[in-house]
Amino acid sequence: MLSWTFWFVVTSHNHECPHDKLTKQFLVRAHLEDSYKSTKNTIAALVGQNEPFNQPIRINLHYNFTFLGATLFILNLIIIICVKATTSEGLTIMGQVKENLELILTVRRTPGPLRLRRYCVNNERNFTLTGPTEPCPNRCSNESVICTVFPVPSEHLQRCVECNGDSSNCVEAYSDGPGIEADLALYVYGINVNCGRSTIAFAAACQLEDQYDRPISGIINFCPSNINDDEQVFQVAKHEVFHVLGFSNNLYPWYRDENGNPRTSRDANGNPPTDANGRYVAAETTVKVVNLTDWQTRFGPVNKTIIQLVTPKVVEIARRHFNCNTLEGVQLEDQGSSGTAGSHWEKRLLNYEAMTGVISQNLAFSNFSYALLEDSGWYKVNYSNASRLVWGRGDGCGYVAGSCGGYIDSKKRQNQPIAPFCDFFTDNEFNPQNLSCNIDRTAVAFCSLVDNYLYVTSFVSIPQEYQYFNSGANFDSSPTRLPFYGGRVQAADFCPYYLDLFRRAPRGICRKGIPL
């Protein structure tokens, strides 16, 4: 343990990702121009062969920061996001994200130009249609919007035919706009709507092309009052664009296999099955519900239901990373709202991975998230660009298949280190003691085991399935206190681990072999 004291405030620098603050029913499938323009491609389509991935993805950025009015916060946001150069090449933050992703992803070439679908309207409300080429039964919407409410240029929209209640007398209300030459149209906004205290941005896919169901448009909204750090904003922006590209429980039902065939069965209109709430549901070959029967708590083993992504490339990467050849899938986050749960990796297992629901320090866009995009069937991925993930590497099947409490107990019985977790109580976050190095040895850190009564002021204890400790080296083991002891990060299943201090240790101190 490091023995000296650091006299400064501890902070976690977390971004809590709500992902899609919008309703789940807005996804629209748009029919693009015929992509089979050669005899060779026509024959390939007729015999069911897959089109080649021959186009580095082209992302078109369109900014709109003023549709709800301008403020000083928004002016600052404009400077940070799309004016201020953050690289020697003069790229802005969103320019960096665009360039980075265009080097990573290859797609089947989008028939150009790209045009998005216009909404229909009935009783003054916008709505979407089941099929991608249907005319509007009543009227075409006169609003140029996507994702229900976000304005886009009318020049980016397709023609729209309306029938005014008479299907035998339909007429063209709007003609095709010129469109854009791109594979993904990404619309960037900056409004304080659906912006929580810890939310820097949120994003969602809005429209899919109807041949392979790949997302072709999406929105990303930055919360102006929460923007202050360029590097953090870049990481958050890339995280949010990954949601648009495919990392979303709204998109799993639309995934394709390596041959371009749907992973989930489709109806006559090309849509996946729905649940009782009308939401599309992915097949168990993509997302699977699993019941863990040996989830260890301080009360003994209990059952816990989890959701896993079980697509082939993700499983291959996970087995190699965790050193667990029997692993059947990678757990998705089960904490938080519908925009967090199911659309991120489980933070307990992959803490530093950039696509967990609470983004903190030492982010790694790793092979896990790259594999997910490839398993969508929409992209080929350049894995050489992936970051190395240290968290959980080589920790075995016991680490993946159970609670952190069970893992800690098992390691203690074997007299082995319990990393990446810890069990030392921190009673003073302004002057934490017993410091150590974090798991990848980039910073001095403190154990996040705390009395959660300080955070849960309603006297509600931690859920029993996340109560792991009956005793500890330096905390009160009385029955009245034990129900509140756990890690301070709820998304990590209340598992305690080492959190970085606000400032790093003296240069190189954690690189010199000091024990964790």
Using CA atoms, how far apart are residues 515 and 63, in angstroms rounded to an integer? Answer: 48
62 is in an annotated binding site: no
- Contact indicator for 146, 116 with CB cutoff of 8 Å: yes
Burial of 428 by CB count in 10 Å (0-12 exposed, 13-18 middle, 19+ buried)? exposed
- Contact indicator for 101, 243 with CB cutoff of 8 Å: no
The DSSP-derived string for 268-320 is: TTSPPPB-TTS-B---TTTEEEEEEEEEEETTEEEEEEEEEE--HHHHHHHHH
Count, in order, helices (H) and strands (E) of the chain: 8, 25
Of 102, 122, 110, 150, give the one whose Cα is nearest residue 30. 110
Ramachandran region, residue 178 (left: φ > 0; alpha: ψ -120 to 50; beta: rest): alpha
Q: In the block, which residue shows the tokens 């239901």?
A: 305
321 is in an annotated binding site: no
3-state secondary structure of 117: coil
- Contact indicator for 51, 35 with CB cutoff of 8 Å: yes
- Contact indicator for 84, 35 with CB cutoff of 8 Å: no
Catalytic residues: 240
Measured from the Cβ of residue 77, the count of other Cβ atoms closer than 10 Å reads: 24
Question: Considering Cα of 84, then 85, then 86, then 91, what sign does the dihedral take?
Answer: positive
243 is in an annotated binding site: yes
Burial of 34 by CB count in 10 Å (0-12 exposed, 13-18 middle, 19+ buried)? exposed
- Contact indicator for 277, 240 with CB cutoff of 8 Å: no
Query: Which helix (H) or strand (E) segment is 63 a member of?
Result: strand 59-64
Dig out the tokens for 56 from the structure. 């580095």
Dig out the tokens for 460 from the structure. 């509600």
DSSP 149: T
- Contact indicator for 187, 219 with CB cutoff of 8 Å: yes
**Nearby residues of 72 by Cβ (< 8 Å), 6 or more positions away:** none
User: Which residues carry a binding-site annotation for Zn(2+)?
Assistant: 239, 243, 344
User: Which residues carry a binding-site annotation?
Assistant: 239, 243, 344
